[in-house]
Amino acid sequence: MSFLDFLDEYGLSFAHGTFVTCVQFVLAVAVAVVMALLAGLGKISRNWGIRTASVIYIELFRGTSLLVQLYWIFYVLPLFGGTLEKFTAGFLSVGLNCGAYGAELVRGAIQSVSRGQWEAATAINMSAAKRMRRIILPQALALMLPPWGNLLIELLKGTALVSLIAVTDLMFVARQINASTYLSAQAFGTALILYYVLARFVVTPVVARIENLVARRLGRA
């Protein structure tokens, strides 16, 4: 079977799988951004309890395998009464894992903002929350966006693991087609191309666009 004939027969299946992967990616990004912001701020908090909880989350999810985390959330949590539907377990596990890495980017970017900016905000009598929201975070955002671009590509690739709990994403479709046709080169070759297209022509340009918008907002463009 030629590659064009293969796409003609299985193109709709790959389209559905790609759509599911995109939804998983978007939801996982939302979870990762929220958790990264909370844990990143929490790690530099003066409150011992908040700081400890943030460190535990970061170390746990950075120090263990995403695959193990996925299995724990889907298979083990139900033993403690925390049953999650497979689709939810998929993007939640990927988002929590990525958020732990993102938290260190948030923390590092915040602590990289010039000390003078902190002192100037304090000098004009800004509250800690307002200082962080109006002065520190916007500048930290410009610093953290480039590494976040790489992290989001890793997150996209990490979504492939959700196929192991039967989420019908792009990798699940490729595996199913390979199992029924034994056309491994076509099945996984198509998946490889689609993942590359999503990373190179969707995720990368979107992050670059956000970087430009933030730079213009801060007057750096």
Residue that the structure tokens 């998983």 belong to: 24
Over residues 1-19, the mean pLDDT reads 92
Percent of all residues in the chain with a pLDDT value above 90, rounded to a whole number: 76
Decide: 204 and 149 in contact? Cβ < 8 Å.
yes
pTM confidence score: 0.93
Domain interval for residue 13:
3-217
Number of domains observed in the structure of the chain:
1
HEC-encoded secondary structure of the chain: CCHHHHHHHHHHHHHHHHHHHHHHHHHHHHHHHHHHHHHHHHHCCCCHHHHHHHHHHHHHHHHCCHHHHHHHHHHHHHHHCCCCCHHHHHHHHHHHHHHHHHHHHHHHHHHHCCHHHHHHHHHCCCCHHHHHHHHHHHHHHHHHHHHHHHHHHHHHHHHHHHHHHCCCCHHHHHHHHHHHHCCHHHHHHHHHHHHHHHHHHHHHHHHHHHHHHHHHHCCCC
Q: Is the pLDDT of residue 173 over 90?
A: yes
CATH number at residue 27: 1.10.3720.10
| pLDDT 10s digits, 82-93 | 889 999 999 999
| pLDDT 10s digits, 63-122 | 999 999 999 999 999 999 888 999 999 999 999 999 999 999 999 999 988 887 777 777
